[in-house]
Structure 1
Amino acid sequence: MKIVRRIGASPRERGSVTGETCPDIFELSDGNFAVIGTEATAVLDAELPPDAVRADYERIVVVTRETLVRAKADIPDT
């Protein structure tokens, strides 16, 4: 599995010049996506709706709205 490309604008393009806040989204060679975000499992786990399931090895990660909105145009339809 390898990173194929960034989805959306880079952190620098979104105004992160210090490198302290760098949420990011990447498309992987297997077609999946990888996300760099703030780990929030402990805070949000109890907030999941009843039909949402999180495996022990999965984490809830938060990315900024700007990161996801700017990635929208690069996310393939299929």
Structure 2
Amino acid sequence: MNTPWRADPLASLTRRLCNPPDSGEGDECPDIWELDNGDIAVVGQDLTGTYIGSRRPGELKIAQDERLVVIPRSTFLSAKAAIADA
């Protein structure tokens, strides 16, 4: 039986994987970081409630302790060079 994946709250942020965000005047800073255990942390807008209802594809599962986070495409694309191919 497989054990479900759980985020390690003791893992440390080790390196930014995307270009530094342009924060402008506010605190809005979409970002992508690698943790010391290899997991990835994403900073973005929590839109879980928006996609929970009829807009959620059937195959998308969101557990009670998870959130659907949206980041700009440009942030994701800027991280591509820093993410090794599997």
Give the TM-score, by structure 2 length. Answer: 0.78
Q: For this pair of structures, how many residues does the alignment match?
A: 75
Structure with max Cα Rg: 2
Cα-Cα RMSD? 1.3
Deviation beyond 4 Å, 4+ runs, structure 1: none
Deviations 1:4-29 (A, max 9, x none): 10011011xxx333243200000011
Q: 2:50 aligns with which of 43, 56, 66?
A: 43
Please tell me whether the aligned partners of residues 45 and 60 of structure 1 are also in contact (alpha carbons under 8 angstroms).
no
Give the alignment of 1:1-78 within 5 angstroms: 1-11=11-21, 15-46=22-53, 47-78=55-86
Residue 44 of structure 1 and its aligned partner are, at CA, apart by 1.3
Give ranges in structure 1 of 5+ residues lacking alignment: none
Q: Which has the higher helix share?
A: 1
Give ranges in structure 2 of 5+ residues lacking alignment: 1-10
